[in-house]
C-alpha cells in the first residue's frame, strides 16, 4: 500500500502542466526523465531503463527532456541536425554536408553553440549596460527636475522678497509724497487762517468805529460833537493789505522728484540683482580660444589664442571654407550645442567692436547681416559711443557708460543670449526666445584700426567671480 501511494504521488507530480510527458506511458502519463535523439522519444524513469541497461540502446544520445523532437531532425534527410553551416547560418545533418554544403564552413553544433552563447552573453551584457545607462539617465533627469524645482522655489522666494521690497519702497515714497503735499497745503491754510483772523479783527474794530461815527454824526449836541470830533474823525489804524497775497501752493516737480528718488532706489536694487545674476552665470565659465583657421587674413591672433586685433597687411592664407574673407571676423575653436556657457571679453581702448555668438552655418564669404535670422546674436560699438544690439536694423542701447569688459552668457535650451557690463554689474541686452538648432561658436570682430584709434585688441579674459 505504501509503494502504491508513493507511485500515485509520483504520477500526480509528474503530470503537472509544463513538464515533458513520457511518450510511452499509457493511461496515467508520467513525467519524462530523458529524451532520445535517436529514437526521437521521451521516456519516464521506468521506460528509460532499457536505454541504461541494453548495450545497443546505450549508444543512443540522451538529453534533458524536450518537446517537439521532430524539429531536431532534417526535414530533407530525416537525420539528426548535429552540424551548423556558417555560410548559410543554418543547422544541417551529415547528408546535407555531403550534398548541399560540401564546400561550406561547417562546424559541430556544440562548437557553434559556444560561439553563439558567448555572443549572446556579450549582447546580454550590452543590453544590461544600455539598461543601466537608461536608469542612470532617468536618475539624471529626476535630479535635473529636483534642481529645477529648487531653482524655481529659490527664484520665487527671491522674487517675492524683491517685489515685496519694491512695493514697500513705492508705498513709502508715495506716503512721503503725500505727506510733503499735505504739509505744504497745511502751511498755506495756516497762513490764510492767520490773514483771515487778522482781517476779521480789523473789520470788527472798523465796524465799532463806524458805529461811533454814526452816533456822533447824529448828535444834536454841538459841544459833544466838537469835543469828540478829533478822536473819531480819523479811521483807526489798519494794516495795508494791498500787497498781501496767499499764493496757491505750487507742487511743480514734487512728483518728479519723488519718482526720481524712487528710480534711484530701484536702480540700486536692480544693480544688486544684476550682481547676483552675474555671479550665477559666471559659474558657467568655459575656456574659449580663437580658431586661426576661421580668422580673416587681416587679423592678427596672439600666440595664447586669447587676443585678436586688426593688422595693416593681408596675410597669405589658404582660402578654406571655414575662413572669413569679407569681414574681420574670427570664431572660437570651441562649439556648443547644449547646456549653458559664459565667457568675458575685454574691449577697453576700442572705439568699434562686435561680439556674441554665431551658428556654424553662417556665411563666411559674402555679406553678413547682424541679426538672429542670419545666425548671429551680437552687440556692437560703432563710432565710439553708438551701442547697438543686432536685431534687424539694430536696436540702439542707452548705456550710462561704455563697458570695458563684456560678459556673454548663453543658455542653449532656454534660447537665451545675454550680455553684461562686468565692471558695472549691469545687464546690457538679452536675446530671448531664440531657437537654436546648430552648434554655436563665440564670435569676435575687432574692426579695422581706424588710423590707430581702434588698434587695441579684443582679449578673452579669465573670469573673476563678482564679489
- Quickly list DSSP for 255-285: HHHHHHHHHHHHHHHHHHHHHHHHHHHGGGB
User: Mean of the per-residue pLDDT values for the chain?
Assistant: 88
pLDDT in tens, 344-377: 999 999 999 999 999 999 999 988 888 899 999 9
Beta strands per DSSP E along 272-425: 299-301, 307-310, 330-331, 340-346, 353-359, 376-382, 386-389, 395-396, 405-411, 416-421
Q: Can you give the residue ranges of every domain in the chain?
A: 2-72, 152-251, 283-461
User: Structure pTM?
Assistant: 0.60
CATH fold label, 283-461: Jelly Rolls (2.60.120)
Instruction: Spell out a b/e string for 65-102, using b for 16 or more CB atoms within 10 Å of the CB, else e.
Output: beeebeebebeebeebbbbbbeeeeebbbeebeeeebe
- Burial of 357 by CB count in 10 Å (0-12 exposed, 13-18 middle, 19+ buried)? buried
Fold of 2-72: 30s Ribosomal Protein S14; Chain N (4.10.830)
Which of the 8 DSSP states describes residue 306? S
Stretch 127-138: mean pLDDT, rounded? 95
Give the pLDDT confidence score for residue 10 in this predicted structure.
47
pLDDT band at 69 (very low <50, low <70, confident <90, very high): confident
Contacts of 340 (CB under 8 A, 6+ apart): 281, 284, 409, 410, 411, 412
Sort residue 176 into left (φ over 0), alpha (ψ -120 to 50) or beta: alpha
Q: Kindly report, residue by residue over 105-129, the tens digit of the pLDDT.
A: 999 988 998 988 999 999 999 999 9
Confirm whether 2-72 and 283-461 share one CATH topology. Answer: no
pLDDT bucket at 444, cuts 50 / 70 / 90: very high
Pick the closest to residue 340 from 412, 426, 408, 282 (CA basis).
412
CA distances from 432 to 175, 369, 409, 410, 429 (A): 37, 19, 12, 10, 10
Query: Which sign does the torsion angle of CA 447, 453, 457, 459 carry?
Result: negative
Instruction: Say how far apart CA 367 and CA 391 lie, in whole Å.
Output: 16
Region 439-461 average pLDDT: 94
Alpha carbon dihedral 381, 387, 391, 395, in 10-degree steps, equals: -160
Answer with the residue of higher pLDDT: 465 or 255.
255
Amino acid at each position: 500500500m505504501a509503494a502504491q501511494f508513493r507511485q500515485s504521488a509520483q504520477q500526480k507530480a509528474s503530470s503537472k502542466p509544463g513538464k515533458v510527458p513520457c511518450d510511452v506511458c499509457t493511461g496515467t502519463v508520467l513525467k519524462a526523465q530523458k529524451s532520445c535523439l535517436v529514437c526521437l522519444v521521451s521516456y519516464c524513469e521506468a521506460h528509460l531503463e532499457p536505454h541504461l541497461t541494453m548495450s545497443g540502446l546505450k549508444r543512443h544520445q540522451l538529453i534533458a527532456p524536450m518537446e517537439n523532437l521532430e524539429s531536431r531532425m532534417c526535414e530533407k534527410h530525416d537525420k539528426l541536425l548535429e552540424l551548423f553551416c556558417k555560410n548559410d547560418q543554418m543547422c544541417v545533418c551529415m547528408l546535407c554536408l555531403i550534398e548541399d554544403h560540401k564546400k561550406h564552413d561547417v562546424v559541430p553544433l556544440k562548437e557553434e553553440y559556444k560561439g553563439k552563447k558567448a555572443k549572446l552573453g556579450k549582447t546580454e551584457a550590452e543590453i544590461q549596460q544600455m539598461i543601466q545607462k537608461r536608469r542612470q539617465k532617468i536618475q539624471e533627469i529626476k535630479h535635473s527636475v529636483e534642481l529645477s524645482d529648487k531653482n524655481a522655489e529659490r527664484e520665487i522666494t527671491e522674487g517675492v522678497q524683491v517685489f515685496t521690497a519694491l512695493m514697500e519702497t513705492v508705498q513709502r515714497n508715495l506716503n512721503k509724497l503725500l505727506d510733503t503735499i499735505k504739509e505744504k497745503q497745511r502751511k498755506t491754510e495756516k497762513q490764510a487762517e492767520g490773514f483771515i483772523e487778522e482781517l476779521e479783527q480789523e473789520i470788527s474794530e472798523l465796524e465799532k468805529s463806524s458805529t461811533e461815527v454814526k452816533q456822533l454824526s447824529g448828535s444834536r449836541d454841538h459841544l459833544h460833537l466838537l469835543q469828540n470830533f478829533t478822536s473819531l474823525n480819523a479811521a483807526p489804524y489798519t494794516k495795508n493789505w494791498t500787497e498781501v497775497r496767499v499764493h496757491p501752493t505750487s507742487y511743480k516737480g514734487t512728483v518728479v522728484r519723488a519718482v526720481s528718488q524712487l528710480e534711484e532706489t530701484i536702480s540700486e536694487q536692480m544693480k544688486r540683482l544684476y550682481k547676483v545674476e552675474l555671479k550665477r552665470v559666471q559659474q558657467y565659465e568655459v575656456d574659449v580660444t580663437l580658431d586661426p583657421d576661421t580668422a580673416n587674413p587681416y587679423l592678427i591672433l596672439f600666440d595664447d589664442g586669447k587676443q585678436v586685433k586688426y593688422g595693416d597687411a593681408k596675410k597669405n592664407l589658404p582660402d578654406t571654407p571655414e575662413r572669413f574673407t569679407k569681414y574681420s571676423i574670427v570664431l572660437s575653436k570651441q562649439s556648443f550645442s547644449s547646456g549653458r556657457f559664459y565667457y568675458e571679453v575685454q574691449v577697453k581702448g576700442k572705439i568699434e567692436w562686435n561680439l556674441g555668438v554665431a551658428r556654424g552655418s553662417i556665411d563666411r564669404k559674402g555679406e553678413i547681416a547682424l541679426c538672429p535670422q542670419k545666425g548671429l546674436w551680437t552687440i556692437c560699438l560703432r563710432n565710439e559711443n553708438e551701442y547697438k544690439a543686432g536685431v534687424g536694423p539694430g536696436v540702439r542701447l542707452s548705456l550710462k557708460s561704455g563697458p570695458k569688459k563684456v560678459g556673454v552668457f548663453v543658455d542653449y535650451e532656454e534660447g537665451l543670449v545675454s550680455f553684461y557690463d562686468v565692471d558695472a554689474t549691469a545687464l546690457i541686452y538679452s536675446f530671448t526666445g531664440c531657437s537654436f538648432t546648430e552648434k554655436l561658436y563665440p564670435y569676435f570682430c575687432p574692426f579695422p584700426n581706424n588710423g590707430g584709434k581702434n588698434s587695441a585688441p579684443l582679449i578673452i579674459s579669465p573670469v573673476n567671480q563678482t564679489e
